[in-house]
Structure 1
Amino acid sequence: MKIGIIGLGLIGGSLGFDLRNCGHIIYGVSRKESTCQRAIEREVVDHASININSLSTVDLIFICTPITLISSTLKQLTSNLRPEVIITDVGSVKTAIVKECEPLWSNFVGGHPMAGTAEQGIEAAQKNLFKAAPYVITPTENTPKNSIKILEQLAQSLGSKVYTCSPEIHDQAVAWISHLPVMVSASLIAACVGEKEKTVLNLAQQLASSGFKDTSRVGGGNPELGLMMAQYNKTGLLHSLQGYRQQLDEVIEYINREEWDSLEQLLMMTQKKRPPFIGGQKNS
């Protein structure tokens, strides 16, 4: 199969590595000529160009741009492709993207490979990035069944665990386990630096160790990604934030009223319920 990849960063480049290794011919597109050249040198793609029209002969296209550019990139593509070409994306939010893109291209299939690192750019691309990682496909009732099947097969060839659900279910699920943690983590950092007593703040910074490092990691990441999560998944994120605020209020009340038994029961419950979220055995 001839496969086009627009955006040769971490995700696009890593897709190129693995799909090319599966025997597909990869055509890459990047805004920078230097990125195109480097992608060829690293054998991420077979062909690379800054011209989006170079994808006119491919069978399937992955749009691996930032969320804000996905629909505009699709608009540039549509006049130069055969109607049977499958187009998919890798955005971390699906409802808004699918709503914008489906009317532009009837053979559009929303997708979200949930893998990555903190690194960016073509040099961050790596082999087997998607192995054993979730790959969520988010069709609607209008999505061609055969196109869904082809994307599922490609994702499976990467070694991914494929899940299929509606865009709305996807967005609420990732709001809980991805977008909410970013906002909670950022709020933790903001609350700490809001400490008025400088001596306390300085000592806290000196004492911070693995616990703070783990819980603050995602809140100290790329601000642009956090902003896009809020803008493009507003409904899902607000729902999860409100649920989290309610839970925090309960904890505050337990401590304020010295209801230690209730607090202990909560902590025992959370200890038991954590494993299913991190790959452990599910509990009822």
Structure 2
Amino acid sequence: MKPVCAGCHEDVRLPFEFKMAFQPIVDLNAQRVWGYEALVRGANGESAFSILSQVNDDIRYRFDQASRVMAIETAGALFEGRDLRLSINFMPNAVYEPSACIQKSLAAARRAQFPHDNLMFEFTENERMTDPAHVQRIVDAYRKFGFWTALDDFGAGYAGLGLLARWQPDLIKIDMELLRDIHLSRAKQAIIAGIVGIARTLDIEVLAEGIENEQELAVLRAAGISLFQGYHFAKPALMALPAVPMMRENSTIQIAI
């Protein structure tokens, strides 16, 4: 018998349409595209804010479910069976019972023939977590399903090292504000060196996001980081995979929008 979630309301309709954009995550050590992050956009490519600002408590669960399913099904068509990870943002406060609330995502992965160990769910420390124990249950459940877990915006928001100590995700994404103009700041360089050292000790992957230029990239490469994301490599593409020059496992593929 499948687990049942008392908070899951199938009859709740969304008052807006949305699509997904995809931005590559590159592994510079391997010189290949490691995966893609799915980012919500308006039906005509409008900003994420234009959609997320309309999400209230009445539709939070339905939106979270619908965006996960769209991300997985679209990626399944775009990836064409290649060994690429898909990173999906999720709202911890929209998950009532982890094993029940993940059922639609599992069904979408089966339809798309998407392996569980190539799915990564990001939770951000910018969203205040009203029940840390509940988030712990989510992380534990997702690991049992074989998913990766990632802590987004690390170094900003309501916590940092506290969340890292408590949950120890598979990957942390360092907040772009810590990385902006890092080549000009000894303080930022020292902080990043500390984060990389801690992550290495805990067997946690580190991803630097929001990279915009070669100077930032050079400093972060020297610090031992190999996973990167940002406009320096490619901007998100609506319902498509943007080309990344000189990276393997990538092509520009589009589906009907």
Establish whether TM, by shorter chain, passes 0.5. Answer: no
Higher relative contact order (CA 8 A, sep 6+): 2
Give 1 or 2: higher strand fraction: 2
Q: Looking at CA atoms only, which structure, 1 or 2, has the larger radius of gyration?
A: 1
Q: TM-score, normalised by structure 1?
A: 0.29
Q: TM-score, normalised by structure 2?
A: 0.32
